[in-house]
């Protein structure tokens, strides 16, 4: 569940852009008119991107109006999923998985590299506002653990050194190659240990 602390500032005025309005029409067409409330999640994602990575109250209200739901129902959804941010985040939103597979494979080293480079801990934003670090649950890449999500990109097989290099690149405004830092596919690092035969015969 996401952080329930909500930014209640009314200083952020939000309206969908013309391009977003066109996208909303296409999204709503995917659902029967009487079921347009089902479009709430893609519209929340669109609103978040329009607002710079988070959902101010005015954005939640705009989504509620589009899908015909009460504001509180939309807030309930936005506050449940970690993919939605109810407070401003930095230009680079670092989401660190610390569940068992990633922890066993060194997620603590990633956290240390981030702290040593940016001086921020989980749920903090760097002084210049460029980086926000958020702990999340499983990101679905256990075989390539540990993993760090940066905005929409996933960086796998990280360690202390590769994480520092990644952060330094982001500080310069450049992105490193996404995926595995070891350039491996989503296979066991030391090769398969199970399901090695079919009907008693070894695979070729």
What pLDDT digit, counting tens, does each position of 9-40 carry? 556 789 999 999 999 999 999 999 999 999 99
Give the mean pLDDT of 166-171: 96
Among 38, 39, 40, smallest CA distance to 55 is for 40
pLDDT in tens, 66-106: 999 999 999 999 999 989 999 999 999 999 999 999 999 99
Q: Are residues 110 and 165 in the same domain?
A: yes
Among 43, 60, 80, the domain-final residue is: 80
Whether the Cβ atoms of residue 136 and residue 95 lie closer than 8 Å to each other = yes
In a domain, 198, yes or no: no
Helix (H) or strand (E) holding 202: strand 201-202
Predicted local distance difference test score (pLDDT) of residue 3 = 47
Predicted local distance difference test score (pLDDT) of residue 49 = 96
Q: Are residues 55 and 117 in the same domain?
A: no
Q: Are residues 98 and 144 in the same domain?
A: yes
In a domain, 10, yes or no: no
Q: Residue 68 sits in a domain of what CATH number?
A: 1.10.10.1590
pTM of this prediction? 0.82
Question: Which range marks the domain in which residue 140 is found?
Answer: 92-179
Mean pLDDT of the chain: 90
Question: Please, what sign has the CA dihedral across residues 128, 48, 123, 76?
Answer: positive
Question: Alpha helix locations (H) across the chain?
Answer: 18-28, 40-50, 57-67, 71-80, 100-104, 107-118, 160-171
Q: Are residues 121 and 174 in the same domain?
A: yes
Predicted local distance difference test score (pLDDT) of residue 165 = 96
Whether the Cβ atoms of residue 43 and residue 67 lie closer than 8 Å to each other = yes
Predicted local distance difference test score (pLDDT) of residue 22 = 97
Does the pLDDT at position 8 exceed 60? no
Higher pLDDT, 143 or 195: 143
Q: Are residues 98 and 159 in the same domain?
A: yes
Q: Are residues 70 and 103 in the same domain?
A: no
Q: How many domains does the chain have?
A: 2
Does the pLDDT at position 186 exceed 80? no
Distance from C-alpha of 132 to C-alpha of 90, rounded to nearest angstrom? 5
Place of tokens 């994480």: 163
């Amino acid at each position: 569940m996401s952080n329930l602390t909500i930014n209640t500032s009314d200083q952020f005025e939000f309206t969908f852009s013309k391009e977003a309005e066109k996208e909303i029409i296409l999204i709503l067409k995917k659902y029967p008119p009487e079921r347009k409330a089902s479009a709430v999640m893609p519209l929340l994602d669109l609103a978040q991107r329009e607002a710079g990575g988070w959902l101010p109250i005015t954005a939640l209200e705009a989504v509620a109006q589009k899908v015909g739901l009460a504001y509180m129902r939309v807030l309930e959804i936005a506050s449940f999923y970690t993919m939605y941010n109810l407070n401003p985040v930095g230009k680079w939103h670092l989401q660190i998985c610390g569940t068992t597979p990633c922890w066993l494979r060194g997620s603590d080293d990633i956290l240390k590299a981030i702290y040593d480079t940016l001086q921020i801990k989980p749920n903090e934003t760097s002084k210049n506002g460029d980086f926000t670090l958020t702990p999340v649950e499983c990101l679905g890449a256990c075989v390539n653990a540990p993993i760090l999500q940066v905005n929409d990109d996933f960086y796998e097989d990280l360690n202390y050194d590769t994480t520092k290099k990644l952060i330094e690149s982001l500080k310069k405004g450049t992105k490193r190659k996404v995926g595995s830092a070891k350039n491996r596919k989503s296979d066991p690092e030391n090769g398969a240990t199970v399901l090695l035969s079919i009907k008693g015969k070894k695979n070729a």
